[in-house]
Amino acid sequence: MNEAQRLKKVAVVTGGSRGIGRACVRALAEAGYRLAYSYVQDEAAAQALSAELESQGREHLALRCDIADPDQVAAFFGQVEARFGRLDVLVNNAGIIRDGLLANMAYADLAQVIQTNLVGPMLCCQGAIPAMMRQRNGCIVNLSSVAAQKPGKGQSNYAAAKGGVEALTRALAVELAPRNIRVNAIAPGIVNTGMSAALVDAQAPEILSRLLVKRHAEPEEIAEAVLFLAERAPYMSGEVLALNGGLKMP
């Protein structure tokens, strides 16, 4: 690795093969970052994105990694370190939904959402922090959700996990400030992705009636906010940026 390569910034995006994650990968690549992104199930989507980046000459690494598994997370960040030798931006995007009324919720649905959506980002932060501390510089962006502050029915597990992500963001910002590492979160509302499709189809008129901006967000709009926090907000840390179209409570 020559000096120019060593100094070129590196970003990691979890859940980077689809939806918001894919938009973040594209935006960061366009901004000149070398990329590593994780995926779990949709290998075809991950490889399609890899081929797209390859055709553009973008240096990248696509790796299968379940962020709920500590060993897989450690292996993932070990490969990032071996390939790139540095890490400048971490985007904790990967997450799952297992909605249902808490009174009837299976323990597996409760535990899996907490493990993936809250413990997973904590594990990824653990994996990213050593490189950022060595550099005495870095940026972590956690993807929260409007559900953390304005949850819908059946979102107890998801809302609790995303509320934890917001608390993690504030606590970690304090912890890492002496090493010049900023930590912020973005809390999107309804975004046009595969994960939100069922919710949008079932409740589209009701949701739109509660939005001040009368449409759903596009993944690229969330990616632009990620890029803003990474590149153009050096004085912002410990904050949760709401991107929810002015969603109102019922």
0.75 surpassed by pTM: yes
Which residues are catalytically annotated? 158
Confidence of residue 200 (pLDDT cuts 50, 70, 90): low
The yes-or-no verdict on residue 1 having pLDDT over 70 is no
Q: Which residue has the tokens 């999107």?
A: 188
| Nearest alpha carbon to residue 21 among 33, 40, 34, 38 | 38
| In contact, 45 and 12? CB cutoff 8 Å | no
The topology under which CATH files domain 3-241 is: Rossmann fold (3.40.50)
pLDDT tens profile 83-119? 999 999 999 999 999 999 999 999 999 999 999 999 9
Domain map of the chain by residue range? 3-241
What count of other Cβ atoms lies within 10 Å of the Cβ of residue 192? Answer: 16
Helix (H, G, I), strand (E, B) or coil at 64: strand
Q: Do 93 and 11 meet the contact criterion of CB atoms below 8 Å apart? A: no
CB-count exposure of residue 127 (10 Å: 0-12, 13-18, 19+): buried
3-state secondary structure of 248: coil
pLDDT class of 69 with cuts at 50, 70, 90: very high
Considering the chain, what percentage of its residues have pLDDT values greater than 90?
81
Identify the residue whose tokens are 């107890």: 156
Task: Classify 184 as helix, strand or coil.
Answer: strand
